[in-house]
A and B are shown apart, each in its own frame.
Chain A
């Protein structure tokens, strides 16, 4: 064990001297967690993974809203006298140790009877007894061991969510029937005219019929419903020939066994439905730990502290906040409504809303907007508007958020199926007419055979398997797509719009330049010592940039809120802050954030903060410019304009001072001109634009944290790979087209048998699985070559 890292969380523990049980810890918090675990014989936690823990945060008063019975009622999944079940989302769940400790919660508190972790969703489902352990105490217990749950307004409405498992049922039934029917039709395949087999034929056939009934009426129902919907809205989608084929298969087979004309095609029917559902299941890859549908509700707290007219604190639910209420916002709490600051120093982090990481200081009397996070102690505010009417939440009342993007475009399979359906029907009718003239006894046989064999199983499987595979490949490369439709949309893009802050710039990094008279050694020491005392984010960034110096004990230190800091050491004094504060009057209009320095009342110079752009930005833009129109839409001022023009290809359009609505309108306008827009953004201010665009990608530094509603989430570290990802989507389309060709070939072979009236059940039974399996094999091999190209 390395003595210099914390045994619990793995952070540097060399500066602190906390040793317990011969293990070093970085802070008292981590040590306490270790103590809890060792007292309860749970140190196995540390054996599964090295330093798996998180430092418990101070949550005093944060979960007071969990005393409100109405809120508790909504959060609980099950609530009986002495048994309560709750599912909590815990972002810290990341390794097997986490699973282990959370499933052993019952050892920590006797009132907890069971706990189950869902690693994919990062949730823990706890069964406990509320008579001896309240929900609030449960949450406090989890927080005390470093597993603080995240409870947002989203949990409020979906406390009792129903999980849709119908696809697995359908797939299971189809697979079960397929296997059994195959078994029962074996004797028929070889046409052994054995006496006893002939005797059992009717029984076997009716058994097959019995197995097929649930398949056609339950497993295949989606195809019939979809076909009906398609017909009603006059769209010839792929489900029409499928539904037609399945219906004809079932009816013809039933008629055949009823009148003892043949064995029917029950094997092909069940096989067809099974393969189709398998394709659907495969495509339905979802990233349980990501959410693509987030709106403000996922960010907002459920409960908030209200100060009643008598001066008492009371937890109320966010929806119950009324205009004129006095609220108490604690440190690190989110402001849920538009309000006016009454008491306390507010330093608000609006990064949820704007993507801008710098905090803003507010004085009493200033207006605060919903969505900001308080970072500087407790404040009291007066409510101006209720939750739904606040500035931020109103963005979601825009119509863009109500329409479903996937309905707006016809996917590649349906494009093909339009013509396909017409061709098939033509062939069916022409060949039937031909046989009516030549040999009318065969006409019905031919008509049904054509519809059966043309049932586009392979065609319908091509896209799901290709896109499903590409979805997985891109997911491995940290580009998470919402569904397969996004791949098709992505391949059609011709305009790419970027947000600036947080998207093409990295959130955490800034570069700082100094302009002015260079500082002497003493001055630099003084500067560093002064900055050390300040908690202002600019001071912190500047402090971390300066070289190591001895820290002086200052004689005088004063921080002026919103202006700057003044400090004195012996005879030297220093002023750090805004231009007027340090006495620099000839301020040239710069738009960048800068910190000015004066020493002994003479102006020295300024430190200017520039955004640090993501690595590989220029190369990415240069690659993209050949095929796409590039635009940067920034909510910021023009401060970075010169820098950006230098960095990016000249063709790139740069637009600044864009409000969220402006971004949305800009995209709408270009779409009306025929552009297919890919929007790449990060903050909630881009939410409207992401929803309006054809494909909206949210960039995220940490995919487990929040990102606005979008079609895809891209890990920030893979930003420079974007070009290759778009190219991969284009290759995917190409593969689908090749698969279509292949399935047409199979169809032609099948149609030959059908049209000539020689379609035997055994041919259908061979052709159908053969075509499906070879399509699946082809797409798998082809998509894996995409994978290899991406590496």
Chain B
């Protein structure tokens, strides 16, 4: 049953790993602004789409 020790160690390492990720996220200021990122993440897609459309248009011209 000493496998429990191994499992416990793994589970705690995983948990602490996520915990450290959380602390790093706070330090980087991810929780300071909860609105702008939600808008920002939508930009990339639109940008690419617009650009491709635009290149087609210029070709026609």
Interface residues of chain A, those whose CB is within 8 Å of chain B, are 44, 47-48, 96, 99-100, 103, 116-121, 163, 165, 168-169, 172-173, 176, 180, 196, 199-200, 203, 207
Contacts and interface: CB of A to CB of B under 8 A. Distances in A.
A203 B4 CA distance: 11
Contacts of B33: 118-121
A120 B35 contact: yes
A119 B34 CA distance: 9
Contacts of A44: 46-47, 50-51
Contacts of B39: 96, 99, 119
A47 B40 contact: no
Given A100-B43, A199-B1, A120 B36 contact: yes
A280 to B, nearest CB: 15
Given A103-B40, A169-B26, A176 B19 contact: yes
A172 B29 contact: no
A154 B15 CA distance: 43
B6 interface: no
B59 to A, nearest CB: 16
Contact of A180 (B15, B23, B34): B15
Q: How large is the interface on B (under 10, 10 to 19, 20 to 34, 35 or more residues)?
A: 20 to 34
Nearest to B33: A118
A331 B49 CA distance: 44
Interface in B33-61: 33-36, 39-40, 42-43, 46-47, 50-51
Nearest to A44: B50
A213 to B, nearest CB: 14
Interface of B: 1, 4, 8, 12, 15, 19, 22-23, 26, 29, 31-36, 39-40, 42-43, 46-47, 50-51
A48 B45 CA distance: 12
14 contacts: A44-B46, A47-B50, A99-B36, A99-B39, A99-B43, A118-B32, A120-B34, A163-B29, A165-B32, A172-B22, A176-B19, A180-B12, A196-B1, A199-B1
Given A117-B36, A163-B32, A172-B19, 6 more contacts: A96-B42, A103-B40, A117-B40, A118-B33, A168-B31, A180-B15
A410 to B, nearest CB: 32
A47 B46 contact: yes
B26 A172 contact: yes
Nearest to A99: B39
A578 B57 CA distance: 63
Nearest to B32: A163
A333 to B, nearest CB: 32
A44 B49 CA distance: 10
A757 B32 CA distance: 47
A176 B15 contact: yes
B37 to A, nearest CB: 9
Contacts of B36: 99, 116-120
A118 B37 CA distance: 9
A161 to B, nearest CB: 11
A590 B50 CA distance: 64
A120 B51 CA distance: 29
Given A99-B39, A200-B4, A48 B32 contact: no
A165 B35 contact: no
Nearest to A95: B39
B1 A48 contact: no
A103 B33 CA distance: 15
B12 to A, nearest CB: 8
A176 B14 CA distance: 12
A165 B33 CA distance: 12
A450 to B, nearest CB: 34
Listed from nearest, the 4 A-B pairs whose CB atoms lie closest are: A119-B36, A118-B33, A96-B39, A119-B35
Nearest to A103: B40
A172 B4 CA distance: 27
A267 to B, nearest CB: 16
Nearest to A184: B8
Contacts of B12: 180, 207
B17 to A, nearest CB: 11
Nearest to A179: B15
Nearest to A173: B19
Contacts of A96: 39, 42-43
B3 to A, nearest CB: 11
Contacts of A180: 12, 15
Nearest to B38: A119
Contact of A48 (B4, B19, B46): B46
A241 to B, nearest CB: 30
B9 to A, nearest CB: 11
A199 B8 CA distance: 14
Nearest to B5: A203
Nearest to A100: B43
B23 A169 contact: yes
Contacts of A119: 33, 35-36, 39
Contacts of A47: 46, 50
A676 B15 CA distance: 52
A117 B33 CA distance: 9
A60 to B, nearest CB: 32
Contacts of B29: 163
